[in-house]
């Protein structure tokens, strides 16, 4: 078992949102296990993990839809666990967007202000500004059913932004969009949140989305935060084999470490902070592939596919198992055909990660 990840990644300012040891059980099932996380002003933190890892549960605890069984959730230093859901300075963008189908776009955006009893003229002005922010001024009189998925998402965002929440919670907001739209919407949404300086928690199971959207990523597993770090660090230095497996594509080997070095499958060695049996991880782009059998790591190409300028080879190694190799695509005629005997070697041994044996 790992110790819970340390929540504080050297924040310079006091955190806007601070989650301390939050635990949530449903009957015998522990869905959240001592989760801790501090989020700084204007920061976007992503909760990333497969379904059932507890990311949505944590989001719902922050929003107040569910009460944690233990732990604290503070916003600007004030405990919010006992604050009712409709009094929290938190805005939620739902996976389904949850736009009110019987209200126009303008009335959807005005809803929260109306509930706060704001004067009609002030509401109109703020709704107009919010719709301008998300470039939907021309759609104020439409009903949600008359909008595209992307436009609906922007209404959902405007509807919470107009209330100026301290924390914005986004629950898989791109799920309902088709793949083509997603990429552009991710960039747009990140830029919007950054421009407005909003503190945001973003939930997704999609690693690409997480890498695009986040200042920091919290990779979750079975109710715990396994690693909390900026995207590059998560990708380049995954703290555990689980994180390495979840983010990007990875190859694993069992090996043995001694005297601060670990043996690599291609005959080289790399520095190791562990001793004894270990698991080593090598990224597909850290492997070189060449025809012929002149090294210890040999196999046959079983499958290959083009990914733009790159080719991914699946090599069935003689030791058993399949190794993924990512290489630049060669010009026609010089590519390696399926079935070819090849030798693999690790490009930079220092980029291999060493974990406890799996």
Partner 1 sequence: MTPRRQLADTLAIGAILAVAVVALILLVAPSIVVVIISFDTRAYVSFPPVGFTLDWYAKVFEETALVEAMLNSLQVGITVTGLCILLGVPTALVCVRGRFPGTTALSVFVLVPHMVPGIVLGVAVLFAGALVGVGPSIYLQSLSIAVFVLAVMVRTVMSRLQRLDPALEEASANLGASPFQTLATVTFPLLLPAILAGAVFTFVEGFDNLSVAIFTHGFRDRPLPVELLALVQTTNTPLVAAVSGVQIVLAIVALVIVAATIGLDRVNE
Nearer to partner 1, 101 or 320 (CB): 101
Work out how close the CB of 96 gets to partner 1 at its nearest, in angstroms, rounded to a whole number.
5
Residues 249-288 that bind partner 1 (CB under 8 A): none
Taking each helix axis as running N to C, give the angle between helix 149-161 and helix 105-115, from 0 to 180 degrees, rounded to the nearest 10: 20
What are the backbone dihedrals phi and psi of residue 125, each rounded to the nearest 5 degrees, phi first? Answer: -65, -45
Closest CA to 209 of 60, 99, 95, 66: 95
Hey, which residues does 299 pair with through a beta bridge?
317, 342
Among 15, 91, 173, 284, binds partner 1 (CB under 8 A): 91
User: Contact between 40 and partner 1 (CB under 8 A)?
Assistant: no
How distant is the alpha carbon of residue 334 from its chain centre? 38
Among 73, 90, 167, 243, binds partner 1 (CB under 8 A): 90
The window from 30-38, 92-100, 245-253, 340-348 that contacts partner 1 (CB under 8 A) reads 92-100
The window from 14-22, 42-50, 90-98, 147-155 that contacts partner 1 (CB under 8 A) reads 90-98
Burial class (CB in 10 A: 0-12, 13-18, 19+), 30: middle
**d(C-alpha 318, C-alpha 211), whole Å:** 35
The window from 33-41, 96-104, 124-132, 262-270 that contacts partner 1 (CB under 8 A) reads 96-104
Residues 116-135 that bind partner 1 (CB under 8 A): 116
User: Contact between 65 and partner 1 (CB under 8 A)?
Assistant: yes
Nearer to partner 1, 165 or 265 (CB): 165
User: Contact between 159 and partner 1 (CB under 8 A)?
Assistant: yes
**d(C-alpha 64, C-alpha 82), whole Å:** 9
Q: Could you give the 3-state DSSP secondary structure of residue 135?
A: coil
Q: How many residues form the binding site for partner 1 (CB under 8 A)?
A: 23
User: Contact between 72 and partner 1 (CB under 8 A)?
Assistant: no
The window from 11-19, 89-97, 226-234, 281-289 that contacts partner 1 (CB under 8 A) reads 89-97
Among 13, 51, 86, 350, binds partner 1 (CB under 8 A): 86
User: Contact between 94 and partner 1 (CB under 8 A)?
Assistant: yes
Nearer to partner 1, 87 or 305 (CB): 87
Work out how close the CB of 200 gets to partner 1 at its nearest, in angstroms, rounded to a whole number.
15
The 3-class secondary structure across 236-285, one letter per residue, is HCCCCHHHHHHCCCCEEEEEEEECCEEECCCCCEEECCCCEEEEEEECHH
User: Contact between 95 and partner 1 (CB under 8 A)?
Assistant: yes
Residues 161-180 that bind partner 1 (CB under 8 A): 163
Q: Could you give the 3-state DSSP secondary structure of residue 46?
A: strand
User: How many Å is the maximal CA-CA distance in the chain?
Assistant: 79
Helices (H), the chain: 55-63, 105-115, 120-133, 149-161, 179-196, 207-213, 231-236, 241-246
Nearer to partner 1, 93 or 280 (CB): 93
The window from 85-93, 135-143, 262-270, 290-298 that contacts partner 1 (CB under 8 A) reads 85-93
Q: What is the CA radius of gyration of the chain?
A: 24
Work out how close the CB of 95 gets to partner 1 at its nearest, in angstroms, rounded to a whole number.
7
Nearer to partner 1, 107 or 324 (CB): 107
Hey, which residues does 120 pair with through a beta bridge?
none
User: Contact between 26 and partner 1 (CB under 8 A)?
Assistant: no
The answer to whether the CB of 214 falls within 8 A of the CB of 37 is: no
Among 13, 28, 87, 179, binds partner 1 (CB under 8 A): 87
Hey, which residues does 262 pair with through a beta bridge?
257, 270
Among 27, 28, 77, 101, binds partner 1 (CB under 8 A): 101
Nearer to partner 1, 108 or 272 (CB): 108
Closest CA to 279 of 321, 330, 231, 341: 321
**d(C-alpha 324, C-alpha 299), whole Å:** 12
Where do contacts with partner 1 occur on this chain (CB under 8 A)?
Answer: 63, 65, 85-88, 90-92, 94-96, 98, 100-102, 111-112, 115-116, 159-160, 163
């Amino acid at each position: 078992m790992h110790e819970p990840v340390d929540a504080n990644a050297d924040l310079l300012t006091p955190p806007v949102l601070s989650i301390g040891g939050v635990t949530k059980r449903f009957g015998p099932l522990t869905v959240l296990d001592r989760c801790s996380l501090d989020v700084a002003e204007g920061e976007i933190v992503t909760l990333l993990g497969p379904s059932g890892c507890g990311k949505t549960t944590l989001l719902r605890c922050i929003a107040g839809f569910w009460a944690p069984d233990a732990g604290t959730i503070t916003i600007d230093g004030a405990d919010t666990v006992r604050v009712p859901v409709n009094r929290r300075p938190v805005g939620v963008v739902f996976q389904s967007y949850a736009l009110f189908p019987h209200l126009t776009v303008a009335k959807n955006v005005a809803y929260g202000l109306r509930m706060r009893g704001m004067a009609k003229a002030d509401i109109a002005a703020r709704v107009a500004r919010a719709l301008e922010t998300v470039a939907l001024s021309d759609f104020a009189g439409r009903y949600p059913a008359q909008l595209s998925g992307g436009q609906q998402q922007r209404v959902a965002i405007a509807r919470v932004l107009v209330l100026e929440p301290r924390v914005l919670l986004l629950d898989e907001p791109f799920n309902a969009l088709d793949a083509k739209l997603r990429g552009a919407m991710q960039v747009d949404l990140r830029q919007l949140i950054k421009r407005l300086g909003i503190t945001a928690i973003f939930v997704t199971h999609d690693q690409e989305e997480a890498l695009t959207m986040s200042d920091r990523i919290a990779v979750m597993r079975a109710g715990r935060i396994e690693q909390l770090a900026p995207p590059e660090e998560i990708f380049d230095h995954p703290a555990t084999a689980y994180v390495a497996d979840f983010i990007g594509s990875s190859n694993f080997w069992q090996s043995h470490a001694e005297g601060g070095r670990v043996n690599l499958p291609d005959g080289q060695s790399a520095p190791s902070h562990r001793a004894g049996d270990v698991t080593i991880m090598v990224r597909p782009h850290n492997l070189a592939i060449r025809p012929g059998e002149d090294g210890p790591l040999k196999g046959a190409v079983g499958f290959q596919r083009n990914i733009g300028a790159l080719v991914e080879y699946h090599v069935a190694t003689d030791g058993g198992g399949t190794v993924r190799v990512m290489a630049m695509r060669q010009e026609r005629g010089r590519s390696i055909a399926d079935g070819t005997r090849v030798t693999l070697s690790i490009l930079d041994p220092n980029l291999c990660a060493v974990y406890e044996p799996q």
